Structure 1
């Protein structure tokens, strides 16, 4: 790949006419752990006032598992579907939430979700968890859900800008590069790669990324 092609993949295009919206569409990759790390700790500390360690651990793991499914199905159906929105806004919506990432996959400021997008997801998750599991279970479960999200964002940034040192690291990065440069209709798990094998959207062994962004 030429230097010019690398520069194109690394570009950070303007998305909104509004300077404010465009500014907040870009976010440093450490923002998720810095913003949500204290919230995770607070949720666990709060739950410890009324629940045992085993109860908290069970809820935390359930929340993490719920995030991994959210990651897979959200990427597969929300990020890769053009919705029939009024006024022909479907393609624009899909482009803003994910399509731009496939055109500029290495944009360092758009590899993690901005809080303006992630916060509503967490509030929706909290509402659903409280509805299904009740208040006591909801707080440590939400901690696990948010922890899964933070891990996802960190791994996503790393797959584009990190250097894998282990077999697992090489595998995770290779699968995500296949999603970008080989077949975008497979490989929807970014860090939760096992769901692709469960739901039949995994790549064949030996496949390698091409040299063209999709």
Structure 2
């Protein structure tokens, strides 16, 4: 009975906004990023092929993907897990809305991927930066790689909470994310890009297990 109550609590989908529209927009189906961004990614790839060779296209995709994995790691580490000193004491509320709620209700199936209202501005910022760094032409494949990395991140994030992996690597990825939720939230910031935790010293030990430390 106690286990059933805990499972229900972890799966709950609490109301976040008094406004009905805002609250509805905060909940999205887990396939939303795939549906929204896959056509854009493909469009950027085909458009890029009209102005560059396959080698340059692939290079852009790799650069964009690596840029996303770093965004994933540092965004999760510093943006999602930092309470900013915002005016009127809004810092804790802001942190709760963008990530804190996920740690309280980690299995909420409608809040495991970013809503377009959040991911859209990230992509616009990425576009501005890539155009500034790489110019108008090469920015497009870089942006496509960045978006592809984001879609992979959201898909893997949902999968870690609602799937049972069968491969050794899949089990490792899920275990590391469960450690982040149920052992130590100050480690394991790479969701699908798990290698950055080893690079930046925030990886778990091999014998760490979920539940050994309260979060």
TM-score range, shorter chain: over 0.9
Alignment of 1:78-97 (within 5 A): 78-97=79-98
Counterpart in the other structure of 2:7: 6
Structure-1 separation of matches of 2:188 and 2:32: 25
User: How far apart are residue 187 of structure 1 and its match?
Assistant: 0.1
Deviations 1:46-89 (A, max 9, x none): 00111000000000000000000000000000000000000000
Q: Which runs of 5+ in 2 are unaligned?
A: none
CA deviation after TM superposition for structure 1 residue 163, in Å: 1.0
- Runs of 4+ residues over 3 Å off in structure 1: none
Q: State the alpha-carbon separation in 2 of the partners of residues 167 and 103 from structure 1.
A: 28
Indicate the residue corresponding to 1:138 in structure 2: 139
TM-score (norm 1): 0.98
The aligned residue for residue 208 of structure 2 is 207
Provide TM-score, normalisation by structure 2: 0.98
Aligned to 1:100: 101
Alpha-carbon RMSD = 1.0
Mapped contact 1:103–1:213 kept (Cα < 8 A): no
* SS of 1:116 mapped into structure 2: helix
1:77 alignment partner, SS class:
helix
> What's the secondary structure of 1:210's corresponding residue?
coil
> 1:68 matched to which residue of 2?
69
Aligned residues: 214
Find the counterpart in structure 2 of residue 35 from structure 1.
36
What are the superposed Cα offsets for residues 119-138 of structure 1, whole Å, 9 maximum, x if unpaired? 00000000001001111110
> How far apart, in 2, do the equivalents of 1:200 and 1:212 lie?
19
Q: What CA distance in whole angstroms lies between the structure 1 residues aligned with 2:156 and 2:79?
A: 20
Kept in 2: contact 1:71–1:189 (CA 8 A): yes
Give the CA deviation at 1:212: 7.4
Pairwise CA distance, 1:213: 6.3
> Aligned partners of 1:134 and 1:27: how far apart in 2?
34
Return the alpha-carbon distance in structure 2 between the equivalents of residues 24 and 161 of structure 1: 22
